[in-house]
Amino acid sequence: MDVYLTRGAARTLRALALFPGADGEGFLLGHRRGNRRIVEKALPTERGFFPTLDSFIRADDILGGIIIGFYSFEPGRASLKKILAPFACGKVFLDTAGLKTGKRAPRAFLIDFDRAFALKPMPCVLEKETRGE
């Protein structure tokens, strides 16, 4: 099982990292193919990802059910607590802090449950840049 980050999504996240005034959290949009979660886009949101669970459900419905996870440049306890919940089980979380410095790739986690909700590390595969891009 892994997270596959497309070039477009990775570029968007790198660009978002340039704006320190932005809240630095958001949704990952994409789809599942077998055990792979393919991240195609990133959608910035407010700090804490969403104000209410109902607003998250409505946003996912408007987007056609393509919210496959969450990202944060500065993951904090309060934000993580919000997504360590039943509705998010099976979704992914990307710690994108390394993109701010450009020193490391995002760290990927599966939001999982085993007697308690937790972030289970998983590989993050970055789509390779091709010449001329």
pLDDT digits over 57-87, tens only? 999 999 999 999 999 988 888 888 889 999 9
Chain position carrying tokens 């910035």: 44
Task: Scan for tokens 């909700």, then name that residue.
Answer: 117
CA 29 from chain centre, in angstroms, equals 8
Please name each of the domains of the chain with its CATH number. Answer: 2-126 (3.40.140.10)
Q: What is the pTM of this model?
A: 0.89
pLDDT digits (tens, 9 = 90+) for 15-30: 888 876 666 899 999 9
Residue 124: what are its φ and ψ, rounded to 5°?
-120, 115
In 3D space, the residue among 24, 25, 23, 30 whose CA is nearest the CA of residue 8 turns out to be 30
Name the strands in the sheet holding 2-5, side by side, starting at the edge strand that comes first in the sequence: 117-122, 107-113, 92-95, 67-72, 25-33, 36-45, 2-5, 124-126
